[in-house]
Structure 1
Amino acid sequence: MTHRLFQLFGLLLVVQFGQSLSAQNPRDFLDQFCVDCHGGTAPEAGLDVSALRWVAPGLHDLDRWREARNRVIRGEMPPADETLPSSAERKGFVASIDALLARAAKTQAGEPGRVTLRRLSRFEYDRTTAARLGLVTEKSAAFPADNLGYGFDNMGDAMSFSLLHMETYLDAAEDLARRAISLEDPEHPPVWRIEGEEMSSQLEDAVGQGDVARLYSRGTVSAPVVLPRDGDYVITVRAFGDQAGDDPAKMALSLDRKRLQVWEVPERRASPGERVIRIRLPKGRHRLAVTFLNDFYEPEAEDPSQRDRNLYVDWVEVKGPTDPIPLPAAHRRIFAHDRPESPTRQRARKILPPLILDLWRRPARIGEVRRFTRFLVRETEKGRSFGEAMRDVLTALLVSPHFLFRVEPGARGRTRKVLPVGDYALASRLSYFLWSAPPDEVLLERARRRELGRVEVLLAEARRMLRDDRSEALARGFAGQWLETRNLEDATPDAKLFPRFDDALRKSMSREVELFFRFILKERRPIRALIESKTTFLDERLARHYGVQGIVGEDFQRHEWSHDRRRGLLGKAAILTLTSHASRTSPVKRGKWILENLMDAPPPPPPPGVVSRLDESQVTGTRSLREKLESHRAQPECASCHERMDGLGFALENFDAVGRWRDRDGRNAIDAKGELPGGREIDGVAELDAVLTEHDGLTRSLLHKLFLYGVGREAGPADRVQLAAAAGRLPGLDATLEDVVLAIVGLDAFRLRNTAP
């Protein structure tokens, strides 16, 4: 009976309030609150809401309805000096737009758009070679900087390709190939022979003539040698002497002026002797030297053959390394199916198909295997080793567009405009989205079976990959660009005002944000935790910066704040520093950062001809800064944006230009009050946090940013409808990061491609 009463009571609530919250006609809302300014012959900002279609709206109408919805829920419309709607009226208007967008997403044909060919970013390049070869090359640091599009470095339309790219890619590929494929054979180690007459010496006439180095007095001959790695080497010196006096000639062998061995050399020219030393040496460039130790000269001796002792060095030979070492992981992977005793052609056919699949992220074609096979056969017939020729093949694979670009071949012989992305291309889309790296064996097997075209399989793979440790790439690749913490490298706080700020602290600040984002993702915390969580991660350096005791060492430790000052992203020093000037804070930069990254409400660029630059950096004191900004907002062309930005930024004034908490700025108490559109006042970061968790702006911002990062292009009008509908299906700020990622993966824009020219 009680259960039945609750059901009836719920039904009454729906009947009583359903129309005001869900079924309200938004035209009534616009007529009452918006048309006076945004209607008629000269609508403000060029927006005529009276012309918006509610029945059978086009994409342009839907875009405007969506923007109106967002501005109403944020309290930006209507303005504070006009008649304001009640909370119920706002909710009803928003609910009606959400319903409109949900219907439109179902009925309007999805337009997946076209993605420009995407080159691997430097971050993706390094992660790709690490995944496939177990190697990262230092040469990648020389790659030209990646251009940003909409804040991300993997946007196809923003990428460039130049001769410098090609040159640096070749350098990197050659380095990787040399390190990946070992040419060592401990049973037949390489030998370097240095002829005595080709060595150098400070003694006149010791070298450069004849067939030996001639040491007629105490002195040294030397030569450079480059050892490929740490290891065991055999050094042999072939020498003889002119014998005189009581002792035979003596010589010393040295490496980098460190004496290794001393030998007697009683042999004469007719039968030179060889002296051998086996020794472990470090890799790198060294100088090998032979020194004549015991010169003897007695011109008055009765026996002419006993008058002069000299040393002659025929040659010095270095052999090694002679000790076997484990083959590089890349070598073992490349030659896993190789049989060295087989003919070259058979070896190539075993090695090339899996190697091409590994590096080009799709199966090898017959013509590609044939072309590389012919090259290997030709080179080995010339006398080169199979390993040497394979290094050239690996270099070619690494400089190929099929490696450097994420190629998605167009469908041939098809007349349909929209087609599914091929399974292998879709596997790469997913893996570079979540891991910034190529697909693993599980995902490639799904692609081989052509299973990824089924949405449920694709989503299951995305869940698996998000729970893999490799998803930490989202924290470094996506979060670092979404939250702009990569820009921390360019922050230069005033060294006199902030003497303890250095590169080490900069890295600790950035790492804290990465670990925090990863924590929210891996622990499947709701999105609101990005704003509200008291959990963070500190090392000793950053703890000292925050005034936290008890954290020692460079390892990051989980820390729980006992107060609300540093909750979530807005308490992170990295973000507070990159949104400041060198010598003081910037409410404008901080407010703009919040609008762009947390509220999905980026301010528009200033109107043409308007001087928008307000030099906050030259203002001293919070009070004078407020006065300057109030004067700036008084200009009509500046007010619309600054009334949105400044109040948000002032709420963070308790944090200085490097993110430390402060209660005073010089002699003045900090004033962290800010006024938001609609006349609402907030005071401090805690009240700002509350504003950000009152609506789903953060969810919508994440959807938009993840779309950019995952799909690789800007969202068009049709995409914005789909993203708005996806936001409506999510439980607001109670959704997890995983929920938002899966929403992107499930979009037509992620799974389909437009093949029209």
Structure 2
Amino acid sequence: MFLLLLALALHPQLRAYEPYTFEQARRFLTAHCEACHNAKTATGGFNIFKYSAKEAMLEDSREMQSVLRRVREGQMPPVGRPSPPAGDRDAFTAWLESSLRTAACAEGLSPARALLKRLNRDEYSATIRDLLNIHINAGRDLPADGAGGEGFDNAAETLFLSPVHAEKFLDAAREALRYAFSDTRARARFLVAEAGRPEPSGPPLTAEQAGRKVLETFVPRAFRRPALEGEVDKYYGLFQHALRRKEPYDDAIRFALEGVLISPYFLFRIEEANPEPSPALVGGYEMASRLSYFLWGSMPDETLMQLAADGKLNEPSTLREQVSRMLKDARSTEFAAHFVEQWLGTRELGRDIKPDPKAFAPYYESEVQSGIRYEPILFFQEVVANNLSLLNFIDSKFTVASSKLAKYYGFGTIQGLRQQPKRIELPDGSHRGGFIGMAAVLAVSSLPQRTSPVLRGKWVLDAMLGAPTPPPPPGVPALAEEHNGAAPRTMRERLSRHRSNPACASCHNRLDPIGFSLENFDVIGRWRTEEGGKPVDAKGELPDGTSFEGPEQLKAVLMQKRDLFLRNLASKLLGYALGRGLTLKDSCTVEQIVKRVEEDEYRAQTLINEIVLSVPFRYKPGTAANMVVKEAR
């Protein structure tokens, strides 16, 4: 009972003491929105008085989604207007989100419109690697890709193509081809024919014959589908043009291949529109790319392409077989790294987030820093590869570490553990287990010179429960550091100033207790018992009086809210797999996925399989609006 009360108190959005009603929602809008959005002014075209009934509100789902986002993120009411109490705001947004989702799901499952997806920088590098059989970071000079959708840099919404991108893609293609032509093994992979080279079944080919043979093989692989009529001829024309300029065979074919590598059909994942009114299964080659860029971050291999050609790839049994095969492939490391580092925020370690090297020198010791960064990735891979419970991400009895990292954590000597990281059982009393006990997470949720209960509390709510906190009110100063010989204070004493400010208290009363429970971990994730000469106080007390202490009790609370954790993880992974932000319709799919994963004891591969078998992953919409899919599983 203690854990349940604590879990409910963690976040007002999670409380369920009384049913929230439409009349309460109307009173909220009247109290906080009427001044600007009444029938007379209707600022921004929004008039709250047109919603006299719940049905009218839910029919205007696009407008209500905008209201939900703006209120949740603290954009409304605007600066200068009184903000609603946090509890009122969270109750309103929870009711509105639930009502919109229920209305959307009542219609059935339907896929969203597919967006044009450019290869992001990492996908481009991996695709060039697999296409040309070379091992260089071909995309290193491309502009960085911003995060979008559910927080990932593969979201179509943010992957635009600027003039700078176009120039850099041409430079990258030229460099990659120069490297590939100079590498004997790579050259043999994609130059399937060369002028004058003897053929197994006939005389040597002429330059023209060799060039066409190369392009007939290369174009379908690069475009990840069979070549369209006349498509190879277009690039063969570039090759012939170069030959007419008396260029050597290598230069001429390289010129044509450059053209292939800057084509939209290579740089983008383009899917054909469905001309029928009803949703339809995506094509076999489209599914091959959806799978490969989800689980490998790269192009489909020959197995996927052959299954697509045979018309078998979209069969549920085949999809399950391919997921199992692909997760065993070394390329699945790309999936683990890209997803985990962006989900947990640990990608920023060593970039924008760097612990103070003077104060925290052990973090920068040989092999320690890399061990810290890769621990969450390798841990994720261990759980997925062995189809373990996803609840290990909350708390576990093992991690994946090298001897250096184990020593850093104070585990002592572990028999058989060397420089290469491997799974190890956690010693009793280690205070580790799950992502929360990992140095990478603890460092990324700290400041360079001190811990931050606020950032750590925010990280737990956002990354683990999917309950982000609005930004602080305007004009609130940052927590001042102590200077001029001031007596050191504990972090709890410093933060008490923010909690005493009514404008700050609503969020800090939610964030700080969670962060305080992790105060035994310093900036770089080492266990400590003192701070500023005083014993660490890892107790947290929530507004309702519920108290808890230390990471173990915090993880016990999260275990009680495993449904929220799983829903957040499923949403994140579905958004990553689809390469776009989720819609209200997608929330119906998430609920279906969560139910099936719960029924299978939270198995990691069940989550991945359910995403691959889901309506938005397997289907494309038709021309008629709101047509649903009758699933055949």
TM-score (normalizing by structure 1): 0.66
Deviation at 1:632, TM superposition (A): 2.3
- Cross-structure match for 2:184: 327
Residue ranges of structure 1 left out of the alignment (5+ in a row): 1-28, 68-78, 83-93, 183-325
Check 1:39–1:374 CA distance in 2 against 1; reply closer, same or farther (3 A cut): closer
Matches within 5 A, 1:462-611: 462-489=323-350, 490-502=352-364, 504-550=367-413, 554-564=419-429, 565-606=431-472, 610-611=474-475
Cα distance in 2, alignment partners of residues 494 and 708 from structure 1: 34
Check 1:368–1:729 CA distance in 2 against 1; reply closer, same or farther (3 A cut): same
Counterpart check, 1:152 vs 2:152 = yes
Matches within 5 A, 1:643-722: 643-676=509-542, 678-695=544-561, 696-722=563-589
1:427–1:447 Cα contact (<8 Å) kept: yes
- Cross-structure match for 2:248: 385
Cα distance in 2, alignment partners of residues 52 and 496 from structure 1: 59
Letter in 1 for 2:459: W
1:139–1:168 Cα contact (<8 Å) kept: no
Check 1:80–1:380 CA distance in 2 against 1; reply closer, same or farther (3 A cut): closer
Check 1:42–1:601 CA distance in 2 against 1; reply closer, same or farther (3 A cut): closer
Counterpart check, 1:615 vs 2:472 = no
Check 1:57–1:519 CA distance in 2 against 1; reply closer, same or farther (3 A cut): farther
Cα distance in 1, alignment partners of residues 315 and 159 from structure 2: 31
Cα distance in 1, alignment partners of residues 23 and 476 from structure 2: 25
Check 1:139–1:126 CA distance in 2 against 1; reply closer, same or farther (3 A cut): closer
Deviation at 1:141, TM superposition (A): 1.9
2:125–2:138 Cα contact (<8 Å) kept: no
Deviation at 1:556, TM superposition (A): 1.8
Cα distance in 2, alignment partners of residues 99 and 725 from structure 1: 17
Letter in 2 for 1:713: R
- Cross-structure match for 2:161: 161
Letter in 2 for 1:496: K
Greater relative contact order (Cα < 8 A, sep 6+):
2
- Cross-structure match for 2:269: 406
Cα distance in 2, alignment partners of residues 680 and 592 from structure 1: 19
Structure ranking higher in helix proportion: 2
Check 1:174–1:331 CA distance in 2 against 1; reply closer, same or farther (3 A cut): farther
Secondary structure, aligned partner of 1:501: helix
Cα distance in 2, alignment partners of residues 563 and 52 from structure 1: 54
Cα distance in 2, alignment partners of residues 622 and 446 from structure 1: 66
Deviation at 1:614, TM superposition (A): 3.5
1:420–1:753 Cα contact (<8 Å) kept: yes
- Cross-structure match for 2:177: 177
Secondary structure, aligned partner of 1:602: coil
1:483-507 per-residue CA deviation (whole Å, 9 max, x = no partner) reads 1110112222222321233285332
Q: Which sits farther off after the overlay, 370-379 or 425-434?
A: 370-379
Cα distance in 2, alignment partners of residues 399 and 618 from structure 1: 55
Cα distance in 2, alignment partners of residues 705 and 81 from structure 1: 26
- Cross-structure match for 2:39: none
Deviation at 1:542, TM superposition (A): 2.3
Check 1:339–1:479 CA distance in 2 against 1; reply closer, same or farther (3 A cut): farther
- Cross-structure match for 1:730: 597
Residue ranges of structure 2 left out of the alignment (5+ in a row): 1-14, 34-47, 70-84, 89-93, 198-203, 626-633
Deviation at 1:666, TM superposition (A): 2.6
- Cross-structure match for 2:299: 438
Deviation at 1:461, TM superposition (A): 2.3
Task: State, as a whole percentage, how many aligned pairs show the same letter.
Answer: 34
1:631-667 per-residue CA deviation (whole Å, 9 max, x = no partner) reads 4234444333323222111110000011100011131
Letter in 1 for 2:301: D
Deviation at 1:103, TM superposition (A): 10
- Cross-structure match for 2:11: none
1:156-215 per-residue CA deviation (whole Å, 9 max, x = no partner) reads 111232232222222221122122235xxxxxxxxxxxxxxxxxxxxxxxxxxxxxxxxx
Cα distance in 1, alignment partners of residues 407 and 109 from structure 2: 52
Of residues 493, 497, 506, the one that matches 1:640 is 506
Counterpart check, 1:460 vs 2:460 = no
Cα distance in 2, alignment partners of residues 566 and 701 from structure 1: 22
Check 1:102–1:41 CA distance in 2 against 1; reply closer, same or farther (3 A cut): closer
- Cross-structure match for 1:228: none
Check 1:142–1:101 CA distance in 2 against 1; reply closer, same or farther (3 A cut): closer
Check 1:42–1:58 CA distance in 2 against 1; reply closer, same or farther (3 A cut): closer
RMSD of the TM alignment (CA)? 3.8
Cα distance in 1, alignment partners of residues 387 and 237 from structure 2: 52
Letter in 2 for 1:561: L
Cα distance in 2, alignment partners of residues 621 and 115 from structure 1: 59
Letter in 2 for 1:725: Q
Letter in 2 for 1:557: K
Cα distance in 2, alignment partners of residues 134 and 424 from structure 1: 21
Deviation at 1:534, TM superposition (A): 2.2
Letter in 1 for 2:158: A
Check 1:462–1:500 CA distance in 2 against 1; reply closer, same or farther (3 A cut): same
Check 1:374–1:50 CA distance in 2 against 1; reply closer, same or farther (3 A cut): closer
1:245-283 per-residue CA deviation (whole Å, 9 max, x = no partner) reads xxxxxxxxxxxxxxxxxxxxxxxxxxxxxxxxxxxxxxx
Cα distance in 1, alignment partners of residues 290 and 465 from structure 2: 27
Cα distance in 2, alignment partners of residues 464 and 678 from structure 1: 50
- Cross-structure match for 1:13: none
Deviation at 1:694, TM superposition (A): 0.7
Cα distance in 2, alignment partners of residues 433 and 139 from structure 1: 20
1:466–1:738 Cα contact (<8 Å) kept: no
TM-score (normalizing by structure 2): 0.78
2:363–2:369 Cα contact (<8 Å) kept: yes
Cα distance in 1, alignment partners of residues 371 and 17 from structure 2: 53
